Amino acid sequence: MSLFARVREDIDSVLERDPAARSRLEVFLCYPGLWAVWIHRVSHRLWGWRLRLLARLLSQVGRFYTGVDIHPGALLGRRLFIDHATGVVIGETSIVGDDVTMYQGVTLGGTGKGHGKRHPTVCDGVFIGNNANLLGNITIGENSRVGAGSVVLSDVPPDSTVVGVPAHIVYRNGERVLITDPHDIKDPLSDSLIALSARVEELEERLGGKPQPAEQFTAEAAEREAYREKLERLRQYVSMGEGI
């Protein structure tokens, strides 16, 4: 694919994914995330030619003008869209597939000073929310979504949605994933939750058995329904300031 065809493809992909984009000229002139990707393609080529210092200097120029720090050694696929751009960091051994979308503040980083593959692999069609941190030699499966502010420390299966610190799966293949085992949370407080859960089970056994799951939230559901009915009755009497 020629240089101009690749640029046109990048611009068209932004128009498809960003409702704020109004024209190709606007995307070309006003989207620093695209500039960062284009500059990286040149610096990556220099890196492959072993002109390492020149490649790093060019990447620093791109960082200054775009706010995006992409190491020249990183491998980026086609149609990468970095929206708003500022604060994005992509490490040296990162691999990013095709049709990936990132928002501001995303980090594809390492977890130490080891050598070899030490940064994430992001497969095709992944969406990464703002300020998410993907750390270490992990793989984010195809068409997965990483919630804003999440810290991902382990592999994510394809077609999954992860959120939290550290991140855990909340949706997979379009279905909600319910966490029933505290071990699955992988939170620093997991041990405390496990101990608390064991204590609750012990107390329930002393009181004559564990309540049925369908009965646990009956009272709470009734309260919510009564509250909604009350709001509905009040809505026809409460003025929202019309005519003031």
Question: What pLDDT score was predicted for residue 217?
Answer: 60
Q: How many structural domains does the chain have? A: 2
In this structure, the answer to whether residues 18 and 135 fall within a common structural domain is: yes
In a domain, 36, yes or no: yes
In this structure, the answer to whether residues 28 and 119 fall within a common structural domain is: yes
The contacts found for 43-52 with CB under 8 angstroms, 24 or more apart, are 43/70, 43/72, 44/72, 44/73, 44/74, 44/75, 44/76, 46/72, 47/72, 47/73
Intervals of the chain under pLDDT 50? 242-244
CB atoms within 10 A of CB 163: 18
85, 36 contact by CB (below 8 A)? yes
Question: What pLDDT score was predicted for residue 168?
Answer: 87
d(CA 217, CA 49): 64
In this structure, the answer to whether residues 125 and 229 fall within a common structural domain is: no
| Mode of pairing for the β-strands spanning 160-163 and 168-172 | antiparallel
In this structure, the answer to whether residues 33 and 149 fall within a common structural domain is: yes
Rg (alpha carbons) of the chain, rounded to whole number: 24
CB atoms within 10 A of CB 106: 26
In this structure, the answer to whether residues 94 and 119 fall within a common structural domain is: yes
- List b or e across 47-65, with b for residues whose CB sees 16 or more CB atoms inside 10 angstroms: beeeeeeebbebbeebbee
d(CA 197, CA 201): 6
In this structure, the answer to whether residues 122 and 208 fall within a common structural domain is: no
In a domain, 217, yes or no: yes
The DSSP string of 56-117 is HHHHHHHHHHHS-EE-TT-EE-TT-EESS-TT-EE-TT-EE-TT-EE-TT-EEE-SSS--SS
In a domain, 219, yes or no: yes
Q: What is the pLDDT of residues 97-134, one digit of tens each?
A: 999 999 999 999 998 777 889 999 999 999 999 999 99
Is residue 195 classed as helix, strand or coil in its secondary structure? helix
In a domain, 118, yes or no: yes
In a domain, 45, yes or no: yes
Question: What pLDDT score was predicted for residue 114?
Answer: 76
d(CA 156, CA 223): 38
In this structure, the answer to whether residues 169 and 201 fall within a common structural domain is: no
158, 141 contact by CB (below 8 A)? yes
Helix (H) or strand (E) holding 212: none
Residue with tokens 């009564």: 226
CATH number at residue 129: 2.160.10.10
Q: Domain range holding 164?
A: 3-178
Is residue 161 classed as helix, strand or coil in its secondary structure? strand
Question: What pLDDT score was predicted for residue 32?
Answer: 95
